[in-house]
Amino acid sequence: EIVMTQSPDTLSVSPGERATLSCRASQSVRSNLAWYQQKPGQAPRLLIYDASTRATGIPARFSGSGSGTEFTLTISSLQSEDFALYYCQQYNDWPFTFGPGTKVDIK
């Protein structure tokens, strides 16, 4: 099973600032990597797939990069609605696996 790790556990950011979240895979997942946002009591929301492609309706302030084992999600200018939990997930090999998440909270 591919193990996904994320850093940091928590990221404290002021509104309008840039946030950079990292995700690492225990072995190569090529570009088969997605990012999700989850708010309390809600289902995950797909932000990015194929490592760098924004999902339908996702604002341009969200961007993804990386391939192989190292990935990054960048939120260029945090809005109030962006404070949430973010998960990366690989879908290169079954079982698909998620990282433990990075919480982005208000500084």
Partner 1 sequence: EVQLVESGGGLVQPGGSLRLSCAASGLTLSGNWMHWVRQAPGKGLVWVSRINSGGSNTNYADSVKGRFTISRDNAKNTLYLQMNSLRAEDTAVYYCARNLDIWGQGTMVTVSS
Q: What share of the chain is helix, strand, coil (3-state, %, to 5)?
A: 5, 50, 50
CB-nearer residue toward partner 1: 35 or 83: 35
End-to-end Cα spacing for the chain: 35
Q: According to the binding rule CB under 8 A, does residue 46 interact with partner 1? A: yes
Indicate whether 68 belongs to the interface with partner 1 (CB under 8 A): no
Asked if 63 interacts with partner 1 (CB under 8 A), we say no
User: What is the CA 40 to chain-centroid distance, rounded?
Assistant: 16
Which residues would be at the binding site for partner 1 (CB under 8 A)?
34, 36, 38, 42-46, 49, 55-56, 87, 89, 91, 94-101
